[in-house]
């Protein structure tokens, strides 16, 4: 199965975006009140993810612009955030035990998001 964006129903009628590969959710969005906002999220990821910088927040980097952030979690693992130029987190991943796995997640999104199909599961 190819990479896909899926718009799914969330709590209280909200719309959530998931980026999926082989039925595994790689990253997901916050809940949006309007389906159009979920679609805007997808279009922004498709457009901005391929060229987005990658920042490792375990160091002293100061991120700006559209970007991927690799964030250390409290238990020593790492997760990925895709962040808009205004600083708003658009999508987040699960935690990974190895930082290399978080980097692989970013590379897969950058490579596959632009051509990914969009499915509505609502």
Q: For the chain, how long is the longest CA-to-CA vector?
A: 42
* Average pLDDT across the chain, whole number: 94
Indicate if the pLDDT at residue 1 is higher than 70. no
The rounded distance, in Å, linking the Cα atoms of 54 and 51 is 9
The CATH code of the domain that includes 17 is 2.30.29.80
Q: Are 29 and 38 in contact (CB under 8 A)?
A: yes
Neighbours of 86 (CB within 10 A): 7
* Total number of domains in the chain: 1
pLDDT in tens, 44-95: 999 999 999 999 987 777 788 999 999 999 999 999 999 999 999 999 999 9
pLDDT attached to residue 59 = 72
pLDDT attached to residue 98 = 95
Q: Are 91 and 77 in contact (CB under 8 A)?
A: no
Contacts of residue 90, Cβ cutoff 8 Å, sequence gap at least 6: 29, 30, 41, 44, 45, 82, 83, 84
What share of the chain has pLDDT > 70, as a percent? 99
Q: Which domain holds residue 23?
A: 4-121
């Amino acid at each position: 199965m190819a990479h896909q964006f899926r718009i799914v129903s969330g709590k209280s009628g909200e719309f959530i975006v998931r980026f999926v590969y082989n039925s595994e959710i790689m990253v997901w969005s916050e809940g949006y009140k309007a389906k159009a906002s979920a679609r805007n999220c997808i279009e922004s990821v498709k457009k901005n993810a391929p060229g987005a910088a990658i920042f490792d927040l375990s160091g002293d980097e100061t991120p700006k612009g559209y970007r991927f952030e690799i964030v250390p979690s409290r238990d020593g693992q790492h997760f990925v955030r895709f962040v808009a130029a205004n600083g708003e987190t658009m999508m987040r991943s699960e935690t990974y035990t190895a930082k290399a796995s978080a980097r692989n997640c970013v590379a897969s999104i950058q490579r596959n998001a632009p051509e990914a199909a969009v499915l509505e599961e609502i």
